[in-house]
Structure 1
Amino acid sequence: MRTSKTEVNLRRLLAAAPQQKNQAKLVHYVATLREQLEQLAEERTPEGLPRISKATLNEYSEKVEAIASKLINHETDPQVSEKDVERSFVKENSSEIEEKKQIPLSSGLRRRPVPTSNTEDKAHELAETDNTPVKLDASAHAHIEKHRMLQEDLTDEMVVLAKQLKESSLMMSQSLQNTEKKTLTLGV
């Protein structure tokens, strides 16, 4: 299967992001990466199937969010240098590769990056936060609604797939039982 132009551009930006020193450009990179990820999720084959697997989409999404979390960490802690962010990104990626080598692929488990923070910091941040509601413009509401609809569609699709899996499992079980009965009757 051919790689689409969107996926090529996404891969290029993912590769270029760790070397980007300009924070404003990095913010733009993250926004563009998220848009490209959405476009990839919407791409379909001529048969109407998703062009890219959900596992690959999740992998790309995790990489984008790792870059975004580095950006957020950099903005909240101005004492951290850009080189430190870049080094930690490279170390994290290499440790992820090593973890993937150590964990058997059949385990079906993925590791998600979890930001480490101190509970005292969280309590301090909660005390400082203002409880006023955030006002969103129409485009933000539309974006949220779009993602809500995507999530509902995904949930519906998962229900259908679960039903199909159950039906095929029952059919396979019945087929095996019939085969066993035939074998026993022919053998006796």
Structure 2
Amino acid sequence: MMGISKTEINLRRLLSAAPNQQNQSKLMHYVATLREQLEQLSEEKTPEGLPRVTKAKVNEYYEKIEAVASKIASQEPETEVSDEPFAKDSTSGSSPKIEDEPRSPTSPQLRRRIVPASSKEQSFDAADADSSKPIKLDTAAQAHIDKHRKLQEDLTDEMVVLARQLKERSQAISQSVQNTEKVRC
């Protein structure tokens, strides 16, 4: 095997810093970042096309990340959100994945990261995932999601206004060019 990748180095550093983090919002960001890094790491390949990290190592990192996530869950009140089944990663066999959630009319393009409903001594296994259990989000995470959903909706509304203005200006310029051509003739 080759040396450790930059993603794995960053993942290890963040994992070692997480237990010392007291700020809950930063800790939630750590967990989200760790999960993204684990997904990236599980997809990395060596030049020979083999997985850079073994399934056992991915599972070990996953357990450590979920231990940090359970620290958050045990310290804050939680809000329930509907659950979706876990997806199985073809490279690692057990890394967390992102799945599309059913499209809602207010946020047609949002995606949600799937996390276990209870992290207490729960090992990740896609075959054992129970889709009937709800996912728990604390109030800070829910507020963060709501904030970003509102920002996305506002941005979409602004883009619609800008597109309308662009269309009107294009039509005005086109009309002006046509009028100029008629005057020349």
Structure 1 or 2: more strand by fraction: 2
Q: Which has the higher contact order (CA 8 A, sep 6+)?
A: 2
TM-score, normalized by length of structure 1? 0.43
Structure 1 or 2: more helix by fraction: 1
